């Protein structure tokens, strides 16, 4: 049973990776695609009618409520009769794009459209080797961060679309200026999705933007199937549900991810129990160190402890952390195995599109040996 | 401007001191009993007096006790340095940070958190943990105070020093703003959290350093009582009475930088206490005599800071509030009430 599960997993993994690398420009690819009712993504919806594709981005930043950005994706070269704000009519396929987050890179390159990326926010933090080389050669421009955004560079690049990473209304100020100059902006809310598959499903948005809906669908379906297969394999083959502690304190405050977060879902699907599984919040919650310390006494594993690379580093932040049982037993794992010298972490880049690998990582941490001699991909043990 | 004494009947002052002393002990004990984790009072007492090695003991002895001690010393340090700054500048708006001590410390911390957030510097310093923040804050605060003292030794007029100090502080704040502007979101958050202050992050070694430096500051302050009373009459008058004005200034500045500098280094720039507590004490005792104000500020500072710490822990809930907001939110109504009740505050300067 177990051996079957492992081989199934490996096959699915290989399939997903091969999809990621597939370059497909087949016109037959451009078929109708509509987000189905079993969609996991909560922050966007896609509808298709005769003249265009209607893409709706829902509550694209933390704390947003009732915000709907509707975009009309029309076929490039055809005059459209849609009566809407011109900044919300986007001719597809998009040929030139600026990405404000590294998660967008992975999805675009999975669709074989890496050539379309002309600017990135935070080129230093790119993990993807091919893209990093292009950035180093000056073929991809640095756009800057948040309010330090380089508007003139954006104007010079004149992209078809800027894929934003919404940080709230305060960023809307400079966004307004750029869109006033006729450059189209779309907020990407993948980082707000609480379901790992919902996050990966955002590839469908890029599919619609590049006119590669079918390829996007097939990539997503492969990820989804693989993820669900691993998830049910884990639930069938595990009895215990180890308790998991997450994060690191900042001074005497420990910001705790709520139970309705992306990582909490992953832990649960990987056969674990997150210590704050029952909490609900739209942002991380500031808890006192003594509360978290008390609760951490019941933890079996400690994941995502900041960006530390050694136990000594954790102790240097606060020597009291040495008393946490996971510290003593050494069961501390960080998602920093694939980090570039510049500080880019592939967990946040390709990880968005590989929830099934993250799931396998966490499952084999929480249940050693459940996936055979599976080698951790994003995670590593902190010694 | 004159030393105003003996508005209260002679006997009530010792009584007020006794009440304040009792209150400080009470609040200190309460701080050990109240926290986010609910622990029964009997268990707290057992944890303090018996070496049980239990988790409750860890919470009380490793988390709450150091935090309560820190609160008391931070309160004392900020109140005393605020008092001396208000006296030397004869300005009720002066406080521990008026000359840029906290701006200097902030710049030091900003350079570490924001400036080198992605570079090699921080990784080269890994293993030092929070000591690196403490050292950088101290270096920043120290550099600012050295500069102020250098200026002070060359200038006669104290108001010129005040204005230069405020300018320097604004300049440093502007540099920090530029660094904030260019930093990434997560680093910005780390920096902002530092500016909100925290009392519970000191290791035992750091607590020792804090206690020793604040005690030194208290000692210097007590020795300075006569000098401060003379300075209250104005520098010219104090000079004519035979006081070495420049030397006195230097002593006050050194004392303030030790007190406010170490608090900022270990706990971040905790606001409000330093400005408010001296006013509260002046109004309680109705005096401007430093022989009363110095011990009064020591007690009141400890009480207000420890009470703020209890509130910031929101006993019974898992969440916490940043200490800096709590000191302001509790303190402002108190000060407004006292100031309005006693409409003649300028008499106390």
Q: Do A291 and B67 touch (CB under 8 A)?
A: no
Chain B, residues 229-288, CB within 8 A of chain A, namely: 268
Query: Of the given ranges (A75-79, A80-84, B229-233, B324-328), which has the lowest mean pLDDT?
Result: A80-84
Model confidence at A213: pLDDT above 80: yes
A278 in contact with chain B, both atoms CB, cutoff 8 A:
no
Question: How far is Cα A362 from Cα A366, in angstroms, rounded to an integer?
Answer: 6
Nearest CA in chain A to B188: A146
Question: How far is Cα B277 from Cα B273, in angstroms, rounded to an integer?
Answer: 6
Look at residues B210, B295, B188, B128 and name the one whose alpha carbon lies nearest to residue A319.
Answer: B128
B182 in contact with chain A, both atoms CB, cutoff 8 A:
yes
Contacts of A102 in chain B (CB under 8 A): none
ipTM over 0.85: no
The model's confidence at residue A28, banded by pLDDT at 50, 70 and 90, is very low
The more confidently predicted of residues B67 and A181 is B67
pTM of the model: 0.79
Model confidence at A160: pLDDT above 80: yes
Contacts of A322 in chain B (CB under 8 A): none
Contacts of B319 in chain A (CB under 8 A): 285-288
> Would you state the pLDDT for residue B127?
44
Model confidence at B130: pLDDT above 70: no
The more confidently predicted of residues A16 and B277 is B277
B208 in contact with chain A, both atoms CB, cutoff 8 A:
no
Q: Nearest CB to A124: which of B118, B131, B320?
A: B118
> Would you state the pLDDT for residue A224?
95
Mean pLDDT of chain A: 84
Question: How far is Cα A298 from Cα A243, in angstroms, rounded to an integer?
Answer: 7
The more confidently predicted of residues B139 and A215 is A215
B241-294: pLDDT as tens digits: 888 888 888 888 889 888 988 898 889 888 889 988 998 898 889 888 999 999
Q: Do B130 and A317 touch (CB under 8 A)?
A: yes
Nearest CA in chain B to A297: B55
A82-136: pLDDT as tens digits: 777 778 889 989 999 999 887 888 999 999 999 999 999 888 888 988 888 888 8
CB pairs under 8 A between A and B: 91
> Would you state the pLDDT for residue A172?
56
Residues in chain B: 349
Does A239-381 match A2-223 at the fold level?
yes
The gap from C-alpha A345 to its chain's centroid, in whole angstroms, comes to: 12
Question: How far is Cα A374 from Cα A338, in angstroms, rounded to an integer?
Answer: 16
The model's confidence at residue B3, banded by pLDDT at 50, 70 and 90, is low
Out of A9-13, B1-5, B271-275, the most confident range is: B271-275
Range A158-184 average pLDDT = 75
Find the angle CA(A106)-CA(A111)-CA(A115) to the nearest 5 degrees.
Answer: 80
Q: Do B130 and A285 touch (CB under 8 A)?
A: no
Nearest CA in chain A to B194: A251
Q: Nearest CB to B198: which of A252, A293, A316?
A: A252
Best mutation target among A276, A294, A307, A312 (most B Cβ atoms within 10 Å) is: A294
B338 in contact with chain A, both atoms CB, cutoff 8 A:
no
Query: Of the given ranges (A186-195, A197-206, A373-382), which has the lowest mean pLDDT?
Result: A186-195
Model confidence at B129: pLDDT above 80: no
Q: Do A320 and B185 touch (CB under 8 A)?
A: no
The model's confidence at residue B126, banded by pLDDT at 50, 70 and 90, is very low
Q: Do A317 and B37 touch (CB under 8 A)?
A: no
The domain segmentation of chain B, as residue ranges, is: 12-348
Contacts of A285 in chain B (CB under 8 A): 318-319
The more confidently predicted of residues A276 and B112 is A276
How many Å lie between the alpha carbon of B257 and the closest alpha carbon of chain A?
A: 23
Look at residues B96, B93, B76, B72 and name the one whose alpha carbon lies nearest to residue B84.
Answer: B96
> Would you state the pLDDT for residue B116?
58
Question: How far is Cα B234 from Cα B301, in angstroms, rounded to an integer?
Answer: 26
B66 in contact with chain A, both atoms CB, cutoff 8 A:
no
Q: Do B36 and A342 touch (CB under 8 A)?
A: no
List of E strands, A146-199: 161-165, 185-188
Q: Are A213 and A32 in contact (CB under 8 A)?
A: yes
The model's confidence at residue A45, banded by pLDDT at 50, 70 and 90, is very high
Q: Do B35 and A290 touch (CB under 8 A)?
A: yes
Question: How far is Cα A172 from Cα B154, in angstroms, rounded to an integer?
Answer: 50
- Multiple choice CATH, A2-223, 1.10.3080.10, 3.40.50.1980, 3.30.830.10, 2.60.200.20: 3.40.50.1980
Nearest CA in chain A to B266: A251
> Would you state the pLDDT for residue B115?
66
Model confidence at A31: pLDDT above 50: no
Q: Do A148 and B181 touch (CB under 8 A)?
A: yes
B319 in contact with chain A, both atoms CB, cutoff 8 A:
yes
> Would you state the pLDDT for residue A174?
67
A287 in contact with chain B, both atoms CB, cutoff 8 A:
yes
Q: Are B66 and B202 in contact (CB under 8 A)?
A: yes
Q: Are B159 and B236 in contact (CB under 8 A)?
A: no
Q: Do B63 and A342 touch (CB under 8 A)?
A: no
Q: Do A315 and B129 touch (CB under 8 A)?
A: yes
The model's confidence at residue A16, banded by pLDDT at 50, 70 and 90, is very low
* Architecture of the domain defined by A239-381: 3-Layer(aba) Sandwich (3.40)
Contacts of B64 in chain A (CB under 8 A): 290
A146 in contact with chain B, both atoms CB, cutoff 8 A:
yes
> Would you state the pLDDT for residue A36?
58
B82-125: pLDDT as tens digits: 999 999 888 888 888 888 888 888 888 888 877 655 443 444 44
Mean pLDDT of chain B: 83
A175-197: pLDDT as tens digits: 777 777 788 988 888 888 889 99
The domain segmentation of chain A, as residue ranges, is: 2-223, 239-381
The model's confidence at residue A9, banded by pLDDT at 50, 70 and 90, is very low
Range A242-253 average pLDDT = 89
The CB density around residue A141, as the number of other CB atoms within 10 Å, is: 18
- Multiple choice CATH, B12-348, 3.30.1360.120, 2.50.20.10, 1.10.3470.10, 3.40.718.10: 1.10.3470.10
Full DSSP string of A85-134: -GGGEEEES---EEESSHHHHHHHHHTT-GGGEEEES-GGG---HHHHHH
Q: Nearest CB to B203: which of A288, A313, A319?
A: A319
Cα–Cα separations (whole angstroms), residue A46 to A54, A83, A93, A160: 6, 18, 16, 20
Question: How far is Cα A75 from Cα A51, in angstroms, rounded to an integer?
Answer: 8
Q: Do B182 and A253 touch (CB under 8 A)?
A: no
The CB density around residue A63, as the number of other CB atoms within 10 Å, is: 11
């Amino acid at each position: 049973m177990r051996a079957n599960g492992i081989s199934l997993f490996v096959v699915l993994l290989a399939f997903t990776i091969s999809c990621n690398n597939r370059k497909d420009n087949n016109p037959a690819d451009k078929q109708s695609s509509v987000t189905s009712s079993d969609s996991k993504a909560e922050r966007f919806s896609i509808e298709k009618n005769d003249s265009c594709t209607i893409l709706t981005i829902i509550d694209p930043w933390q704390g947003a409520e009732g915000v709907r950005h509707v975009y009309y994706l029309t076929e490039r070269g055809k005059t459209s009769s849609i009566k809407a704000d011109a900044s919300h009519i986007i001719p597809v396929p998009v040929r030139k794009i600026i990405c404000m987050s590294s998660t967008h890179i992975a999805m675009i390159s999975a669709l074989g459209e890496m050539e379309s990326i002309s600017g990135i926010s935070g080129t230093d933090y790119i993990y993807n080797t091919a893209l990093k080389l292009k950035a180093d050669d000056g073929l991809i421009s640095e756009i800057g961060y948040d309010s330090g955004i380089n508007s003139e560079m954006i104007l010079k690049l004149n992209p078809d679309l800027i894929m934003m990473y919404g940080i709230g209304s305060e960023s809307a100020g400079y966004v307004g200026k750029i869109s006033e100059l006729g450059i189209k902006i779309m907020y990407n809310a993948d980082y707000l999705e609480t379901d790992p598959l919902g996050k990966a499903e955002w590839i469908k948005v890029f599919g619609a933007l590049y006119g590669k809906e079918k390829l996007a669908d097939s990539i997503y379906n492969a990820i989804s199937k693989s993820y669900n297969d691993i998830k049910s394999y884990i639930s069938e083959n595990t009895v215990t549900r180890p308790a998991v502690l997450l994060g690191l304190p900042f001074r005497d405050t420990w910001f705790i991810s709520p139970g309705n977060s992306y990582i909490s879902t992953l832990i649960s699907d990987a056969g674990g129990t997150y210590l704050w599984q029952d909490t609900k919040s739209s942002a991380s919650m500031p808890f006192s160190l003594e509360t978290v310390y008390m609760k951490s006494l019941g933890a079996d594993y400690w994941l995502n402890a900041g960006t530390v690379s050694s136990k000594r580093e954790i102790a240097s932040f606060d020597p009291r952390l040495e008393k946490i049982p996971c510290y003593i037993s050494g069961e501390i794992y960080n998602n920093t195995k694939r980090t570039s010298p510049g500080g880019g972490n592939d967990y946040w880049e390709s990880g968005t599109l590989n929830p099934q690998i993250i799931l396998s990582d966490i499952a084999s941490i929480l249940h050693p040996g459940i996936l055979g001699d599976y080698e951790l991909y994003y995670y590593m043990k902190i010694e | 401007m004159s030393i105003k004494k003996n508005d209260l009947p002679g006997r009530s002052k010792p009584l007020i001191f006794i009440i304040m002393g009792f209150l400080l002990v009470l609040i200190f004990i309460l701080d050990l009993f109240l926290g986010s984790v609910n622990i029964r009072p009997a268990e707290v007492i057992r944890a303090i007096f018996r070496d049980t090695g239990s988790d409750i003991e860890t919470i009380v002895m490793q988390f709450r006790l150091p935090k309560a001690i820190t609160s008391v010393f931070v309160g004392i340090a900020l109140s005393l340095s605020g008092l001396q700054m208000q006296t030397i500048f004869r300005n009720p708006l002066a406080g521990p940070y008026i000359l840029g001590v906290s701006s200097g410390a902030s710049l030091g911390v900003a350079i570490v958190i924001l400036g080198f957030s992605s570079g090699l510097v921080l990784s080269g310093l890994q293993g030092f943990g929070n000591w690196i923040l403490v050292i950088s804050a101290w270096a920043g605060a120290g550099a600012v105070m050295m500069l102020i003292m250098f200026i002070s030794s060359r200038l006669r007029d104290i108001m010129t020093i005040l204005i230069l100090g405020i300018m320097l502080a604004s300049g440093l704040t502007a540099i920090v703003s530029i660094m904030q502007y260019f930093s990434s979101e997560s680093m910005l958050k780390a920096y902002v959290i530092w500016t909100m202050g925290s009392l519970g992050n000191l290791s035992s070694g750091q607590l020792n350093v804090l206690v020793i430096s604040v005690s030194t500051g208290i000692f210097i302050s007590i020795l300075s009582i006569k000098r401060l009373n003379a300075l209250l009459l104005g520098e010219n008058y104090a000079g004519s009475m035979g006081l070495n004005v420049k030397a006195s200034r230097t002593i006050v500045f050194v004392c303030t930088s030790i007190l406010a500098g170490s608090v900022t280094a270990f706990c971040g720039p905790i606001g409000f206490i330093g400005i408010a507590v001296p006013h509260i004490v002046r109004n309680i005792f109705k005096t401007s005599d430093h022989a009363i104000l110095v011990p009064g500020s020591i007690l009141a500072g400890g009480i207000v800071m420890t009470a703020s710490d209890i509130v910031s822990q929101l006993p019974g809930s898992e969440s916490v509030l940043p200490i800096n907001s709590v000191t302001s939110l509790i303190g402002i109504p108190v000060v407004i009430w006292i100031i309005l009740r006693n409409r003649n505050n300028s008499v106390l300067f």
